[in-house]
Structure 1
Amino acid sequence: MSPRYRSLNYTWEAVYAADFTLDHVRRRGAMIAAGVVARGWSCLVAYDTRFMGNLFARALYADLLARGVQARLAACPTPLPAVYAALERKLADCALVVTARKRPYYYNGLVLIAPPPGMTLGVPDEQPQSSFPPLIDPAPLPPDLPDLRAEYLESLRGVVDLDLIRRVSMTIFVDPMNGTTAGGFTALLGDGGQTRAIEINREPDPHFAKVTPHPAESGLLRLKKLVRESDSHLGLAISADGTALAVIDKSGEQVNLTEVALLLSSYLVRQHRHKGLVLLPPPASDTAFNAARLAAWEEATGIKLELTLDTDARIAELLAQDRPGLLLGLNRDGEISIGRVAAYPDALLAGLLVTEMVARSGGSLRALLDAQRDQLK
């Protein structure tokens, strides 16, 4: 069965203390609660590794319950793909997540993930003032809080050929950027295999080492140096929210994500028999991926490719169909969606599939890139 599409219905991000305060958070939570109650939805409350995210989430959870919402609170910091996956398992109808996604550490925010057509929300400053119960000595949390992260990691075992990765002798460095996917890659591969997966920046750090937790903006200097100087096969960086990916080759160079998307699309068709359209943002004029070369790739692979300025809207359109026509979608933010598996961007899934692809080639990402570049000539 194809995954059901849900949109980021509402996003608010603000700087701590200036605008992101408990009062502002609870007022927005009350506005969202009114819409959720009106639709009879249940709501999942989750959070990431940002400063005091768990406490803000607990306050929202208590306020939702007080307003009659059937709510559940995540047990631990959770990647956004894991929240989407929980909604796919029908754990709730919608989710309210305390996160500023890939913004710098001094931001936090709220994200509402809702089924289409979502809900229309007003501006909190225009809403009547609400009175909130005090948060002194809150009631104990229920003992059965769902561990969304563990269930999400378990679901990936059925999608990726982890045994193949373990059998091939490779060394991989993974940088989860002190975010919600820390420990996930190594937990999935386990011990005893031939492949060594080494995670850096895996310790919980609400400040993300003062680096913007986005692979496209951080530079990834440490990861690149480690991959290059250790003669490793591959480096992967995953944004703190678990949605954006970067790939580093053995020379320590960051691979253009358009190249990664084309490689992975061909692999999914050939090895996993996926079908559908590949969506990419138009390449920059100074890259090797001009229209003629991309047309040559289409002809060589037989895969339909579409370039669109509003990649997110087009991905949403395809994923919202009864039979989603998306093979793979890449947006300008470095987020990759694998249409047949997940109706949402998932960097850990994409990174594991890249690793599986490299393992099947004998551990040589460079050989795959060179072969594809020959197709683009």
Structure 2
Amino acid sequence: MAQIKFGTSGWRGIMCEDFIFDHVKVVTQAIADYLHAQGEADKGVVIGYDARFMGERFAHEAARVLAGASILSMVCDRDTPTPVIAFEILRRQAGGGINFTASHNPPEYNGLKFSPSWGGPALPETTSDIEKRANAMLGQVCYKEMALDKAVRAGLVEEIDPREPYFKAIRSLVDFDAIARSGMTLAVNPMYGTARGYLDTLLQEAGVKVVTMNDHRDPYFGGMPPEPSKAHIPDFIKLVKERDDIALGLATDGDADRYGVIDGDGTYIEPNYILPLLYDYMLRRGKRGDAARSVATSHFLDAVARHHGQKVLETSVGFKFIGEYIRDDKILIGGEESAGLTVQGHVPDKDGILACLLIAEMVAVEGKSLSALLSDLYQRVGEFHARRENFRLTPELEDSFAEKIKSPPQALAGKKIAEVITLDGCKFLFEDGTWVLFRKSGTEPVVRVYGEAGDEKELQRLIDAAAEFVGVVK
């Protein structure tokens, strides 16, 4: 029997294989037991779901199990963005939240993400506790279930609409007047996911001209994984490129915790560039504070921090570690190369809706395209080019890579390695500031290689040297 295993953002699996009702009920009971053990059970649990198949049903089954454990469930009335669920946990001072989402994964996947009372993704010590409890109960009927109508009558299940309180919070963080005054037309693509009626509605209510696409619920996500990366939004790029009146394209992933941005000329702008642009904008507007990024994220952010006399805190991959810094009010902004971002005073979880709105505000206030803003920033702090590639390993290469990484070389690509960072994977920092990171996948024979240099030619040289180090023929 497959074991329950939480990854960087919850437990995920293929529906009808390992993500099945019995397993969902067992994990929910494990969460109930954890909350009782922590003294948090009497605060209730917010339950949400994304736009995938059976989302409502999974949410209601979880509510029935929690009711059997005498825990109140506050169930969202429709598919709901992950950051909205995080916000509602904090607003209601709930004991935690259960969110049925597989985020940007293909439609055959679903997942269960648990957030504790502080609103961010559960930390490893929490998920390890829940895993241990769940795996000890697999194959057993270890939970009590209460019929949904009975649970409602008993006051143990209530339906909630979390949208307006979240809208109020977002309006305090974003200058919608500036966006509206700019006269820009913005394109919005929720990718058939939970940002429908959130990102577009916030802009429209502020008087902004909005063009929308893919704005109805589709559990197949139009036949693409609901990930707003360049490869998965060709229709959106085409729309922005072909229409002269659109200044910016703003996309969100399936559960609206990630973002994708298209400049007015149809150019996709990587998250590695968005994060430093926003940080620089916030600092130039008078805000102060350090930043945090994952170990795999561009050091462009570090250059911006140095320019303004601030620091950058480096974390393992997984937004929960950045969320801790937001929770503890230690940073102004935090983000990662995989398009996660949040800011001081907001939820300690990724928010693709807020990210899109802050980008629109920046473009409106500066009166320049993202490409022009990027060029300006390069002039002030230097140029950065980053990329990630996945190298598939044969069994022989997998064994040899494990040995190589235990004893890193003194040089790579003709460059002396100044520092080796093993926070998450193995990162070689070179004397000239360039770097390469190797992270082995925990689920497949793949090593993820991240690199950064001052220009594309040097970056390619680093990636090629990294491939040679692994033993992969490109």
Task: State which of 62, 70, 73 in structure 2 corresponds to 1:71.
Answer: 73
Change (3 A) 1:202 1:138: farther
For residues 345 and 152 of structure 2, the distance between their equivalents in structure 1, rounded to whole angstroms, comes to 40
Task: State which of 292, 307, 322 in structure 2 corresponds to 1:315.
Answer: 322
Q: Helix, strand or coil for the counterpart of 2:107?
A: coil
Task: State which of 112, 126, 130 in structure 1 corresponds to 2:136.
Answer: 126
Q: Deviations over 1:50-89 (max 9, x none)?
A: 1110111011101101111122212221111011111221
Structure 2 residue 335 is matched with structure 1 residue 333 = no
Change (3 A) 1:338 1:10: closer
For residues 255 and 10 of structure 1, the distance between their equivalents in structure 2, rounded to whole angstroms, comes to 24
Change (3 A) 1:217 1:259: closer
Change (3 A) 1:225 1:23: same
2:311 is matched with which residue? 304
Q: Is the 8 A contact 1:233 1:365 kept in 2?
A: no
Q: Which residue identity is paired with 2:219?
A: P
For residues 166 and 305 of structure 2, the distance between their equivalents in structure 1, rounded to whole angstroms, comes to 33
Correspondences of 1:120-199 after superposition (within 5 Å): 120-121=129-130, 122=132, 124-127=134-137, 128-130=140-142, 132-133=144-145, 145-190=159-204, 193=207, 195-199=208-212
Q: Which residue identity is paired with 1:355?
A: A
1:31 is matched with which residue? 30
Structure 2 residue 386 is matched with structure 1 residue 348 = no
Q: Is the 8 A contact 1:9 1:118 kept in 2?
A: no
Q: Which residue identity is paired with 2:309?
A: G
Q: Helix, strand or coil for the counterpart of 2:361?
A: helix
Change (3 A) 1:138 1:59: farther
Larger Rg: 2
Q: Helix, strand or coil for the counterpart of 1:157?
A: helix
Q: Is the 8 A contact 2:263 2:370 kept in 1?
A: yes
2:12 is matched with which residue? 13
Q: Which residue identity is paired with 1:84?
A: A
Give the Å deviation of 1:173: 1.0
Q: Helix, strand or coil for the counterpart of 1:366?
A: helix
Alignment gaps of 5+ in structure 1:
1-6, 284-288
Q: Which residue identity is paired with 1:333?
A: S
Give the Å deviation of 1:277: 2.5
Change (3 A) 1:316 1:151: closer
Give the Å deviation of 1:299: 4.5
1:209 is matched with which residue? 222
Q: Helix, strand or coil for the counterpart of 1:341?
A: coil
Change (3 A) 1:368 1:45: same
Change (3 A) 1:104 1:76: same
Correspondences of 1:167-316 after superposition (within 5 Å): 167-190=181-204, 193=207, 195-216=208-229, 218-231=231-244, 232-271=246-285, 273-279=287-293, 281-282=295-296, 297-306=304-313, 310=317, 312=319, 314-316=321-323
For residues 96 and 143 of structure 2, the distance between their equivalents in structure 1, rounded to whole angstroms, comes to 24
Q: Percent identity?
A: 28
* Number of aligned residues: 361
Change (3 A) 1:372 1:207: same
Q: Helix, strand or coil for the counterpart of 2:160?
A: coil
Greater mean alpha carbon deviation, residues 105-114 or residues 267-276: 267-276
Q: Is the 8 A contact 1:171 1:234 kept in 2?
A: yes
Give the Å deviation of 1:310: 3.7
Give the Å deviation of 1:157: 1.0
Task: State which of 50, 56, 62 in structure 2 corresponds to 1:54.
Answer: 56
Give the Å deviation of 1:152: 1.4
Q: Deviations over 1:336-357 (max 9, x none)?
A: 1213433221111111011001
Change (3 A) 1:78 1:91: farther
Structure 2 residue 76 is matched with structure 1 residue 86 = no
Q: Helix, strand or coil for the counterpart of 1:46?
A: strand
For residues 317 and 68 of structure 2, the distance between their equivalents in structure 1, rounded to whole angstroms, comes to 39
The RMSD of aligned alpha carbons is 2.9
Structure 2 residue 372 is matched with structure 1 residue 367 = yes
The structure in which a higher percent of residues are strand is: 2
Q: Which residue identity is paired with 1:211?
A: M
Change (3 A) 1:27 1:191: closer
- Normalising by structure 2, report the TM-score: 0.69
Greater mean alpha carbon deviation, residues 359-368 or residues 272-281: 272-281
For residues 116 and 148 of structure 2, the distance between their equivalents in structure 1, rounded to whole angstroms, comes to 31
Change (3 A) 1:159 1:134: closer
